[in-house]
Chains A and B, each alone.
Chain A
Amino acid sequence: MGTQMRGTAAPGRTPTSLSRRSRTKGGIGESTLRPDGTLKVIGEFAYSSDLWHEDMLWGFTLRSPHPHARITSIDISKALAQAGVHAVLTHDDLPTAHTQYGLEYTDTPVLADGVVRHHGEPVALVAADHPETARRAAAKIKVDYEPLPVVHDEASALADDAPILHPNRDDHHAGHVPHPNIVHRQPIIRGNAAEAAKRADVIVTGEYEVGMQDQAFLGPESGLAVPAEDGGIDLYIATQWLHSDLRQIAPVLGLPEEKVRMTLSGVGGAFGGREDLSMQIHACLLALRTGKPVKIVYNRFESFFGHVHRHPAKLWYEHGATKDGKITHMKCRIVLDGGAYASSSPAVVGNASSLSVGPYVVDDVEIEALALYTNNPPCGAMRGFGAVQACFAYESQMDKLAEKLGMDPVEFRQKNAMSQGAIMPTGQIVDSPAPVAELLRLIKAMPLPPEKQWETARGAADVRALPGGLSNTTHGEGVVRGVGYAVGIKNVGFSEGFDDYSTARVQLQVIGGEPVATVHTAMAEVGQGGITVNAQIARTELGVTQVVIHPADTQVGSAGSTSASRQTYMTGGAVKNACEAIREKVLETGRRKFGTYHPAWATAELLLEDGKVVTDSDEPLADLVDVLGDEVIDIELQWRHRPTEAFDPVTGQGFGHVQYSFAAHRAVVEVDTELGLVKVIELACAQDVGKALNPLSVKGQIHGATVQGLGLAVMEEIIVAKDAKVCNPSFTDYLIPTILDTPAIPVEVLELADEHAPYGLRGIGEAPTLSSTPAVVAAIRAATGLPLVRVPVRPEHITGT
Chain B
Amino acid sequence: MRLTFRVNGRQQQADDVWEGESLLYVLRERLGLPGSKNACEQGECGSCTVRLDGLLVCSCLVAAGQAQGRDVVTVEGLASQAKKRADGRSGGADGRTGKAGTDLQPLSPIQQAFIDAGAVQCGFCTPGMLVAADELLERNASPTDADIREALSGNLCRCTGYQTILAAVRLAAARGTADTAGTADTAGTGG
> A residues engaging B (CB < 8 A)?
31, 33-34, 36-38, 40-47, 49-50, 52, 130, 132, 215-220, 266-271, 297, 299-301, 462, 464-465, 470, 526-529, 696-697, 699-700, 703-708, 730-732, 736, 738-740, 742, 744-745
Contact = CB atoms under 8 A, between A and B. Distances in A.
Nearest to B114: A41
A216 B45 CA distance: 11
A730 B3 CA distance: 30
3 tightest A-B CB contacts, nearest first: A43-B35, A527-B122, A703-B161
B118 A696 contact: yes
Interface string B25-47: 00011001111111111101101
Nearest to B163: A703
A41 B159 contact: no
Contact of B118 (A216, A700, A705, A738): A700
B120 A34 contact: yes
B111 A732 contact: no
Contacts, number: 184
B102 A44 contact: yes
17 contacts: A31-B118, A38-B115, A41-B115, A41-B130, A42-B79, A49-B37, A132-B18, A218-B45, A218-B157, A271-B158, A297-B38, A299-B41, A300-B41, A696-B118, A731-B44, A731-B45, A742-B161
Given A50-B28, A732-B42, A219 B34 contact: no
B186 to A, nearest CB: 23
A738 B164 CA distance: 14
Contact of B18 (A45, A130, A216, A744): A130
A731 B163 CA distance: 22
A444 B111 CA distance: 37
B74 interface: yes
Given A130-B18, A528-B121, A42 B35 contact: yes
Contacts of B175: none
Interface of B: 18, 20, 28-29, 32-42, 44-45, 47, 74-76, 78-79, 102-103, 107, 111-112, 114-116, 118, 120-127, 130, 146, 148-150, 152-166
A219 B166 contact: no
Nearest to A270: B122
A231 to B, nearest CB: 29
Given A41-B114, A731-B156, A745-B163, A219 B124 contact: yes
Contacts of B18: 130, 132
A738 B46 CA distance: 11
Contacts of A700: 118, 121, 159-161, 164
A249 B135 CA distance: 45
Contacts of B157: 218, 739
Contacts of B121: 269, 527-529, 700, 704
Given A218-B157, A528-B121, A43 B34 contact: yes
A300 B42 contact: yes
Given A217-B122, A218-B37, A730 B42 contact: yes
B40 A40 contact: no
B115 A34 contact: yes
A742 B75 contact: no
A697 B125 contact: no
Nearest to A222: B38
Contacts of A739: 148-149, 152-153, 155, 157, 162, 165-166
A37 B37 contact: no
B161 A707 contact: yes
A269 B102 contact: no
Contacts of B163: 699, 703, 742, 744-745
B146 A462 contact: yes
B150 A464 contact: yes
Contacts of A730: 40, 42, 44
A708 B120 CA distance: 17
B158 A217 contact: yes
A299 B35 contact: no
Given A33-B115, A218-B156, A731-B156, A41 B41 contact: no
Contacts of A301: 41
Contact of A703 (B36, B123, B155, B164): B164
B160 A704 contact: yes
A380 to B, nearest CB: 18
Nearest to B130: A41
Given A33-B116, A739-B149, A740-B149, A216 B160 contact: no
A583 B11 CA distance: 55
Given A300-B39, A697-B118, A218 B158 contact: yes
Given A52-B34, A703-B163, 7 more contacts: A33-B118, A40-B123, A49-B37, A266-B123, A736-B158, A740-B149, A745-B163
B122 A526 contact: yes
A301 B38 CA distance: 12
Given A37-B115, A42-B75, A47 B124 contact: yes
A703 B158 contact: no
Contact of A299 (B28, B29, B38, B130): B38
B150 A40 contact: no
Contacts of B34: 43, 46-47, 49-50, 52
A739 B136 CA distance: 15
A470 B150 CA distance: 9
Contacts of A464: 146, 149-150
Nearest to B115: A37
A228 to B, nearest CB: 24
A452 to B, nearest CB: 15
Nearest to B18: A132
Nearest to A465: B146
Q: Which of B78, B120, B127, B130: most chain A CB closer than 10 A?
A: B120
A217 B122 CA distance: 9
Nearest to B144: A464
A738 B153 contact: yes
Given A37-B115, A43-B33, A730-B42, A267 B76 contact: no
A598 to B, nearest CB: 43
Contacts of B115: 33-34, 37-38, 41
Contacts of A33: 115-116, 118
Nearest to A685: B161
B44 A732 contact: yes
Contacts of B149: 464, 739-740
Nearest to A133: B18
A47 B47 CA distance: 13
B122 A269 contact: yes
Contacts of A697: 118
B41 to A, nearest CB: 5
Contacts of A470: 150
A299 B41 CA distance: 7
Given A42-B76, A50-B34, A268-B123, A704 B118 contact: no
A51 to B, nearest CB: 9
B156 to A, nearest CB: 6
Contacts of B37: 47, 49, 218-219, 268
A686 to B, nearest CB: 15
Contacts of B159: 269, 527, 700, 704
Contacts of B107: 38, 41-42
A40 B162 contact: no
A272 B115 CA distance: 25
Contacts of B103: 42
A132 B20 contact: yes
Contact of B124 (A46, A268, A528): A268
A704 B41 contact: no
A36 B123 contact: yes
A731 to B, nearest CB: 4
B44 A704 contact: no
A40 B126 CA distance: 7
A619 B40 CA distance: 58
A46 B30 CA distance: 16
Contacts of B102: 42, 44
B99 to A, nearest CB: 13
